Amino acid sequence: MDIEKYLIDHSHILDAIDDAIIGKDLQGTIIIWNKAAEKKYGYSVDEVLGRNIKFIIPADGSDEYDYTIEKVMRGETVYLSETKRIGKNGKHIKVSLSITPVRNSKNKIIGAASIARDVSALKQLSEQLYIKNLELENASLAKDQFLASMSHELRTPLNTIVGFTGALLMRLSGPLTTEQEKQLKIIESGSKMLIYLINDILDLAKIESGNVHINLEKINCNEIVSEVVSTLSILAESKKIELRCSISSDELYVMTDRRSLMQILINLLNNAIKYTEKGYVEIKSHVEKINNVEFVKIDVVDTGVGIKEEYKSRLFRQFERLEAEGKFHDGTGLGLYVSKKLAGLIDAKIEFQSVYGKGSLFSVVMRKL
């Protein structure tokens, strides 16, 4: 037979394939049964040659088989993502099948070749992955709930510390010595920085769960810049770094979420101070026109160590702390990641330039009202 000669001529190739390949004529008589088919179904080639393929098809699969043969006879290739076959031990084997027409030199269909792949292991693996995904989702939810709860528990006493420290600095409880005032400012600054650090952790949990609440309102950027400088002035002073502030003479208003913008600028300025050992750090607000559209730009410039080229692509990844001058600085590695995510939520953009050994420039860009 043509089909027999065609398939037998290629049998040495078929035996090298891991998938079970069966060749049969138009009546369903088995002509080719490769080594993988022997292994999968348990029958040797001598046991199956000349037999009709239907002996390995379950009774409830006969309609499927007839439908498949009809399509093959019309020249179509049939794909069955999951069906069953019967092994020599009588057990059902779940397989995926592709059944292709075999043609002779005159392009006449003379039979069919089927390729079977066992999907039992794949299906079991898929079920295991589904269970693992559920476990991971539950673990992630528990993490988010824990972070939200702990962040609230931590912020409450810190806000109390900031409140009472502010009251003392206002002399509500009586006069202060110069040294007392200095120490209270250090406490206030440190407490505020802890609050912003906790906000980063809480924002990360909210961002990952898609539960960030954004309250858009008209905000004066110059006021935000002044507040950020006030918060971090003690940190700069402790490192003997000059902290410069240059505010535009114009009132720069944008539509944004106040807390998110504050968080972004705190993170950028804190990083600038952290990675600067000498020189200065400057934050400035100004207007830049792009394609005849006015944007508010808040720049954070430093004379710090700068960023190596190989680190730039990793800059906004979470938990990424970059090495500077042979050491890793303190921090969670969340600041820039959270900042970029928050910027996306308030329709802002963070740009940066950096030359290793000379310093960096980070900019927050927002459309001006």
Query: From residue 132, how far is each of 126, 129, 151 by CA, in Å?
Result: 10, 5, 28
Total residues belonging to the chain: 369
**Average pLDDT over the chain, rounded to an integer:** 84
Alpha-carbon dihedral sign for residues 336, 342, 345, 348: negative
pTM: 0.54
Domain ranges of the chain: 2-118, 121-212, 213-369
Query: How many other CB atoms are there within 10 angstroms of residue 95's CB atom?
Result: 22
Q: Is 84 exposed, middle or buried (0-12, 13-18, 19+ CB in 10 A)?
A: middle
13 vs 128, higher pLDDT:
128
| Cα–Cα separations (whole angstroms), residue 193 to 30, 120, 264, 278 | 77, 55, 13, 22
CA proximity to 250, closest of 289, 292, 280: 289
Res. 281 pLDDT band, cuts 50 70 90: very high
Q: What is the mean pLDDT of residues 198-212?
A: 73
Tens of pLDDT, residues 140-177: 777 666 766 666 677 778 778 878 888 888 888 888 89
**C-beta of residue 363 within 8 angstroms of C-beta of residue 352:** yes
CATH 1.10.287.130 fits 121-212, yes or no: yes
Q: In this structure, which amino acid lies at residue 211?
A: N
- Predicted confidence at residue 316, as pLDDT, reads 85
Q: Confidence class of residue 61 from pLDDT cuts 50, 70 and 90?
A: confident
Q: Which CATH superfamily is domain 213-369 in?
A: Histidine kinase-like ATPase, C-terminal domain (3.30.565.10)
- Quick one: pLDDT band at residue 1, thresholds 50, 70, 90? very low
Average pLDDT over residues 281-286: 95
pLDDT for the residue 322: 61
- Predicted local confidence at residue 258, as pLDDT: 94
Q: Is the pLDDT of residue 315 over 90?
A: no
What is the pLDDT averaged over residues 55-81?
88
Q: Give 187's contacts (C-beta < 8 A, 6+ positions apart).
A: 161, 165
Give the position of tokens 């993170």.
267
Decide: helix, strand or coil at residue 220: strand
| pLDDT confidence of residue 8 | 52
Is residue 35 predicted with pLDDT exceeding 80? yes
The answer to whether 7 and 102 are in contact (CB under 8 A) is yes
Phi-psi region of 240 (alpha: psi -120 to 50; beta: other; left: phi over 0): left
**Residue 363's pLDDT band (cuts 50, 70, 90):** very high
In this structure, of 41-45, 54-58, 255-259, 318-322, the range with the lowest mean pLDDT score is: 318-322
pLDDT of amino acid 52: 93
According to CATH, the superfamily of the domain at 2-118 is PAS domain (3.30.450.20)
What residue ranges in the chain does DSSP mark as E strands?
20-25, 30-33, 78-86, 92-103, 109-118, 216-220, 242-246, 253-257, 280-290, 293-302, 323-324, 327-328, 349-355, 359-367
| Mean pLDDT score, 39-61 | 91
Q: What does the pLDDT average to over 261-287?
A: 92
